[in-house]
Amino acid sequence: MTARRLILSFTVLGLVLVLPVAVASAQSTVKYGIAFGLGMSNVAGDGWSTWSELAGADYNNRSMAGFAAGLFVRVPVGMRGVSLQPEVLYVTKGSNVDAPIITYPVLREPAEMVMRVRTDYVEIPLLVRYTLAEGKLATPHLIFGPMLAFKVSSKVKYKDYPAHIESLRTLLSEKDITNTKSLDYGLVLGGGVDIVIGKITSLTLDFRYTVGLIGVFEDGEFENIIHATAIPIFVDDRGKGLELKNRDLRIIVGLTF
What tens digit of pLDDT does each residue of 7-18 get? 555 555 555 555
94 pLDDT above the threshold of 70: yes
Q: Check: CB of residue 93 under 8 Å from CB of residue 66.
A: yes
Average pLDDT, the chain: 85
Asked, as a colleague might, if the bond just before 232 is cis with ω within 30 of 0, I would say: yes
Kindly state the percentage of the chain with pLDDT values over 70: 80
For residue 26, the model assigns a pLDDT of: 46
Dihedrals φ, ψ of 23, to 5°? -70, -45
pTM as predicted: 0.87
The residue segments making up the domain with residue 114 are 3-256
Q: How confident is the model at residue 21 (pLDDT cuts 50, 70, 90)?
A: low
> Is residue 124 a contact partner of residue 148, using CB atoms and an 8 Å limit?
yes
Whole-number pLDDT of residue 100: 83
pLDDT tens per residue across span 161-215: 776 665 666 667 789 999 999 999 999 999 999 999 887 789 999 999 999 999 9
25-34, 152-161, 191-200 — which is least confidently predicted? 25-34
Evaluate if residue 129 carries a pLDDT over 80: yes
Given a cut of 60, whether residue 231 has pLDDT beyond it is yes
Q: What is the mean pLDDT of residues 218-231?
A: 78
Count of domains for the chain: 1
Q: What is the pLDDT averaged over residues 71-92?
A: 93
Predicted pLDDT of residue 79: 84
Residue type, 111: A
**CA-to-CA distance for 104 and 171, rounded, in angstroms?**
9
What is the rounded average pLDDT of the residues 98-124?
A: 77
When pLDDT is cut at 50, 70 and 90, the band that residue 44 belongs to is: very high
pLDDT at res. 193:
96
Residue 120: predicted pLDDT: 97
* CATH code, domain carrying 42: 2.40.160.20
pLDDT above 90 covers a percentage of the chain that reads: 60
Q: For residue 139, what pLDDT is reported? A: 93
Contacts of 6 (CB under 8 A, 6+ apart): 148, 183, 185
Nearest to 182 by CA among 215, 160, 158: 215
Query: What is the distance between the alpha carbons of residues 61 and 169, in angstroms, rounded to a whole number?
Result: 23
The b-or-e profile of 145-159 (16+ CB within 10 A means b, else e) is bbbbbebeebbbebe
Angle formed at CA 249 by CA 14 and CA 244, multiple of 5 degrees: 80
Question: What is the per-residue DSSP string for the chain?
Answer: --HHHHHHHHHHHHHHHHHHHHHHHTTS--EEEEEEEEEEEEEESTHHHHHHHHHTS--EEEEEEEEEEEEEEEEE-SSTTEEEEEEEEEEEEEEEEEEE--S-TT--S--EEEEEEEEEEEEEEEEEEEE----SSEEEEEEEEEEEEEEEEEEEEEES--TT-TTHHHHTS-EE-TTB-SEEEEEEEEEEEEEE-SSS-EEEEEEEEEEESS-SB-----S-HHHHHHTT--B-TTSPBP--EEEEEEEEEEEE-
Q: 57-66, 107-116, 172-181 — which one is most confidently predicted on average? A: 57-66
Taking 70 as the threshold, does the pLDDT of residue 20 lie above it? no
